[in-house]
């Protein structure tokens, strides 16, 4: 694909979209791993602090995904 006909602003927007998509993909993978950690801790009957900590990590990742998605949608408008 020839990007020469795109303006610098268009190329920068494309780059930001690409980076955001990659970041969201990585965060979703991390959220899945964190959710598995919560389940594993609960199944192993770990102390409530360990389960709470694992659940907190998963929740934090979920919030990061939500914020990044909202920001990305606002920029796309």
- Region 25-33: mean pLDDT is 95
- The answer on pLDDT for 1 being more than 70 is no
Task: Specify the long-range contacts of residues 8-16, CB closer than 8 Å, at least 24 apart.
Answer: 13/75, 16/75
Number of alpha carbons in the 13 Å side-chain half-sphere of residue 16: 14
pTM of the model: 0.76
Q: Kindly state the DSSP code that residue 4 receives in the 8-state scheme.
A: T
């Amino acid at each position: 694909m020839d990007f020469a006909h795109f303006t610098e602003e268009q190329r920068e927007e494309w780059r930001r979209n690409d980076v955001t998509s990659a970041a969201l993909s990585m965060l979703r993978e991390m959220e899945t791993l964190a959710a598995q950690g919560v389940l594993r801790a609960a199944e192993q009957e770990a102390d409530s602090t360990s389960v709470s900590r694992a659940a907190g990590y998963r929740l934090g990742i979920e919030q990061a995904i939500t914020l990044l998605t909202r920001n990305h949608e606002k920029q796309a408008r």
